[in-house]
Structures are given as structure tokens and as C-alpha cells.
Amino acid sequence: MESIGRQVASVVLCALVGTMVLPRDACASDMMSNPDWYIALWDSGYSDWMISPHGHEQLSGEWAAAVRYGGIAKGESMWLERNWVCPDWTSNSQFVTVTPFQSHDDPGNPVVGKDTGRGVIANGQLRITIDASMQPGRTVAGLSPASPAHTLTHWYPMIQTYTLTNTTDQVLSDVALFQFMQAHPNDDYGPNNYGVYDPTMYADASDAFGAYHHDMSFFAPLSTWQADMDDIIGFSSITEPTEWGLGQFSGHDGEPGLDSLHNLVETDLLPGGIHVGPTEIAGAMKWDFGNLAPSESIQHSVLFYTAHTEGGVTPRVPAPGAVVLAAIGGGVTAWLRRRRML
């Protein structure tokens, strides 16, 4: 794997020249862009790098997906991306690139920029096509299910669609998809980050994106970049997740520890939760699709958004001790329930 310096240099070069075609284990394959913000995407749809309309790295974490089905290696959920960046570690993924992710300016999409992209990966049992599309307009980011707190996002949310196809001659049972996000929206590797799961259908959501209302938002109060601004990043789904979870994803040298949320994705023990923070925050949603017959495909889309509020008005969450304990308790409850002990 290349050094972090080389990876960063490659991404910066991409931003300057508007193209990136690099080995999948080195850096992103290509860049999605619009007039306000842009994001680097790997062949698997993974990202570690997104520049906000205010010119700073607002993701500064992980945007990754995983799948789960009967007969999968080691009985774990399998990540689509093998080589994670900053922290650098190798996941359990067995997917390889079929078609490198490439983006272009689609004449049929009114967004100006490299607004449309596709990549294809496979592991011998599933072929997964990842489509990404920047969309004109804005959506609503839910910020608290206990109050009417929400805000309009920045322009051009990105819809990322996963098409899973069974390439075997056997039925794949209990197929599921996970979407994971770990974010430092204030571009600071400190703990001053919060997360919330908000499924509220807000009345002022636009017609174009209003159906995407199962929101998982991450925000940094009074951003280190602009002291009077709360930075927000998140994703949402039209379909209610079967399970979801908020938790920690800490550490910057190698794979995060056993207490990190990505392990609960792999073991299929998402803890639920409404608010978590302040911490190095992560969140994930899971959708169950049932059995997948030979050659059959299923499709699911998530919407990636970025936003901010002025004057530090984003709702704060309960005391950190309470929310961390709530997240841990949720994980224990999920473990017991899965083993029919509750």
C-alpha cells in the first residue's frame, strides 16, 4: 500500500486535473463532482475523502458498504472495500474489481461536472454494480427525532445505488446490505462529533428527495473551520432499515479497536440508538432482502448529503456517559435478542 502522503497527493492531483485512474489498492478510482462539492470514490463505492462547499475535508472518515448472506466466508458480513485508508487496514473483503469506477458528465443530467459514475466488483458469488449520481436540488437532513430539528442540505446530493446479482447456480439465503459512515465533519480527528438517527418525514422536504427520510446525520458543533457554523454530513434511505446502529470508530493507526462499530457490522449486531456523542462517531444501517435466486438481482439506493447550520444551532445530545452506555446497552440487547434470550 502506498504511503498516506502519496495517497493524499494522488487525490489532490485528481482534484486539479479532474481525473483519476489508479490501482484500487492505492487510492480512489475517480472523482464525482458538481459546482459545490466533490468526492473521491473507489471501485467498491468506498470513500475516505470529500471536499465541502466551504473548501474543507468534511468526510475525513469512511463511507463503506458491506454484504451478508448464508455461506459467506467465516460467517461474517463482508466489506465491499478491502483496503481502508487513514486509518490504513485490510478488511475481510474478497471482492475484486470487474470494472473500475469511472465518472463522467452525463448529458442527460443537468448537474455541471462529473455527475455520474459506475464501478463493478465481484467475489465469485455476488456481482455488485455501484452507480453514483449527483442530483440537482436539495434535501432535508434530520437532526433530532425528539424535536422538529432539521435543516436543508447543500445542493446536489449524491444517490449511490447497489445492484447485487447472484452469479452462482445456488440460492443465496438471507442476503443483506449494510451502509456504514464514519465522519469527522469538522475535519478534526478529535471527539467533538455527534451522530443521530432520525426517520422523521419532514413536511418541507422536496418532492424529489422527500422519500429519503430515514436519516443518519453526523455533525460537529461550532466547526473548527468556521467558529459560527455546525458542519453536517450524512446519508438516508427511502426504505426503513431492518436494523441500525450508532457507535464509536476510534484510532488512527491500523484497524480500530474491538469497541468500534465496524465490528458490529461484521458480527451483525448493530446496537440501535438515537443519539451518540461526543466521540469519534460512526453509524450504519442494514437492509434485509431475503433469498436471492441464481441470476436474480436486487437493488438498493442511499442518498449522501452535506449541510451546515449557522450560529451553532444544531441540537446537542445527552451527556456523553449516558449515550455511550446506551450504545453499549443496545449492543448487549441486540446480542441477547439474536440468541432468543430476550
CATH of the domain at 317: 2.70.98.10
pLDDT > 90: percent of the chain: 53
Element (H, E) at 10: helix 4-17
Distances (CA, A) of 320 to 194, 212, 285, 292, 332: 10, 29, 22, 41, 18
Q: Which of 126, 57, 95, 93 shows the shortest CA–CA distance to 297? A: 126
Question: Is residue 329 within 8 Å of 321, Cβ to Cβ?
Answer: no
How far apart are alpha carbons 299 and 130 in whole angstroms? Answer: 10
| Band (223; pLDDT cuts 50, 70, 90) | low
Q: How far apart are the first and last CA of the chain?
A: 45
pLDDT (0 to 100) of residue 231:
85
C-alpha distance from residue 196 to each of 68, 142, 245, 338 (Å): 25, 8, 10, 24
User: Can you tell me the mean pLDDT for 94-110?
Assistant: 97
Q: How many domains does the chain have?
A: 1
Looking at every residue in the chain, the average pLDDT score rounds to 81
Q: Is residue 331 pLDDT above 50, yes or no?
A: no
| Sheet bearing 275-276, strands edge to edge | 96-104, 116-122, 126-134, 158-166, 297-310, 229-237, 214-220, 194-198, 275-276
Quick check: 319 pLDDT over 60?
Answer: no
Which pTM does this prediction carry? 0.84
pLDDT of 218 higher than 80 = yes
Contact 313, 273 (CB under 8 A): no
Residue bearing the bigger pLDDT, 99 or 151: 99
Report which of residues 210 and 311 the model is more confident about. 210
Whether pLDDT at 265 is above 90: yes
Does 225 have pLDDT greater than 70?
A: no
pLDDT digit string, tens, across residues 137-194? 988 898 887 777 888 899 999 999 999 999 999 999 999 999 999 988 766 666 678 8
Task: Give the residue numbers spanning the domain of 302.
Answer: 4-338
pLDDT of residue 14: 44
Predicted confidence band of residue 118 (pLDDT cuts 50, 70, 90): very high
Tell me the mean pLDDT in the region 284-311. 94
Q: For the chain, give the percent of residues with pLDDT over 70.
A: 77
Which has the higher per-residue pLDDT, 214 or 187?
214
pLDDT class for 309, splitting at 50, 70, 90?
confident
How is residue 92 written as a grid cell? 475481510
